Structure 1
Amino acid sequence: MRRKASLLVAVSCVVAAVLLSVSCGVSVNTDNKDGKSVSNQSDNLYWLPNITRKSEVYIYDRLSHRLATFDVDKEQIVNRNDKPNFMQYEFNDIRSNIYTSGDSISNHFTILKVADNKIRTLWKGDENIAVFPLAFSEGTLYFVQSVYGENGDEKYEDRAIYSFDESAGDMECLSETKGMKIDSGVLINNDLYFTVYDDSSNKYNLLRLTLSSGFDPVLIKDGLESGSVYKNNGVIWIEERDSICSLENEKTCIHKSEFNYFYGENVIQLDSLYEDKMRLTIRNSSDNSVRFSVDDCIGFRYADSTMDIYKHDGGFKYRLE
């Protein structure tokens, strides 16, 4: 996932912080380690949809940035919380079923897992905290965490990358990143690559942090026009104005879409058309050729190298090579 709004345009809250540690100064709360399903209750403004029929599945509605239930028989979205400013945010990895959820005004951020037709809460933050997905890996996940003062302004000096152990439910601050205006990132082996906004140049810098090394992040490339960064087969790709290019070979570029996901030699792309419809295109990352394209796409789900693609006039499966 790539969240559409930059973290630099961060949103507000008005509750004072409780300290987690001296190094990062944020508290966390894992009060739902038992993984109870999120309930859809009328008195809860932050409800998430429940599966109510065998024909329903969860999909991530990328146009609204919300989790929704989709009825395969009716071929339409049947439930979604459209409360203004309340959204869910995805990792930029189609294998992930982990999301964050929160309100851009009052926060109430949580980390969620969608599995077995249920939404489970893995972590719940204090009301002055917002968390956004950064880099996905099995077991340990990486998030950007922002803190807000009583006036609703973000405390940029407290923004940092946090690792999250899914099994333990614990957040840990990577103190080497504290105070950086982090935008997006990817994990390759034991190296975390992430972009940081530079106020002086109005551009982005790409940094590399070797995890558990004790060293500060290293500058890899500066002067980037965009903060979006991707990975593909162990290689960093960076976003430019109209394309996404390999950092290893900058002449190797592909067309850029509204949503872009690398998977092996495939690039899964989505572009909004009108209303709730999108064009889904799958390209070859090595030569930019189009392998597959379909309009009228509502969304898709991934499992075992296969995409379940949902449309208004019926769905189908697509095997990723």
Structure 2
Amino acid sequence: MGKTRNVSLDTVVTEFILLGLAHPRNLRVLLSLVFFTIYILTQLGNLLILLTVWADPKLHARPMYILLAVLSFLDMWLFSVTVPRIILSFTPASKAMPFGGCVAQLYFFHFLGSTQCFLYTLMAYDRYLAICRPLHYPVLMNGRLCTILVTGAWVAGSIHGSIQVILTFRLPYCGPNEVDYFFCDIPAVLRLACADTTVNELVTFVDIGVVAASCFMLILLSYANIVHAVLKMSTADGRRRAFSTCGSHLTVVTVYYVPCIFIYLRAGSKSPLDGAVAVFYTVVTPLLNPIIYTLRNQDVKSALKRITMGRGATSEHK
């Protein structure tokens, strides 16, 4: 349940101190290098997918790969919201974040994160139509409809982020100002509020936890239908390609949704495990996305070969 503290107008918080991840002091340099390497590899991997989809006509003409490019774009920005702060926490630099910076970080994390949540659902719907209703797919999922659905996901994500920010920062914060987390997220910030947080915790449970769980169930339902349709395919090669494509998506979805649901369905939790789980879906999942979608996706690998061979041929011609 929520809690209440007496508010003193003389001690209004103007900045938050992010305590970061618990870690041995003698491993600071190593950890900062590890997270910096992960950051660079993730950004380069997602940039590679973006450029491949943009450069290959066969990919950017298909809704599946338009959605994949949007996912990569989201991952790049979402990763930049949290990981630089993690790296900073391992350095002697100040851990203070202005109040406005905390507001902005919480907004963009939930705006981009919820947009990604909706996008995963759209990707599952796209695969369901392509495999279960192949004859109607060009009509049901064309470029125009794909653009409308993606725009809707961005708008819904923006509304979600705005609601969370308004509800979180309508509360007074009068101290202490130490956020026991590696970024400004709802559960960690609410613990510092000098007012009853029951309504906020309920909204967090419904608006984040239940919505995420519902999207996850819709995705699982889509894939249950896909598996049923794939098993009825007459050719082994068709089954293999369908399972390969869908397996990549389902792997990424699972490692994103399960930790997310674990955290936000337990908004009042103070478990030290929450930080480790949050690192998994904010750091590990964006790193896995480009790896899974490039190594397990035959179309993307073929497109990379075509682009590479095309450039090689151009160089030789010159």
TM-score, length of structure 1 as denominator length: 0.24
Looking at CA atoms only, which structure, 1 or 2, has the larger radius of gyration?
A: 2
Which is strand-richer, 1 or 2?
1
TM-score normalised over the length of structure 2 = 0.24
Bigger helix fraction: 2
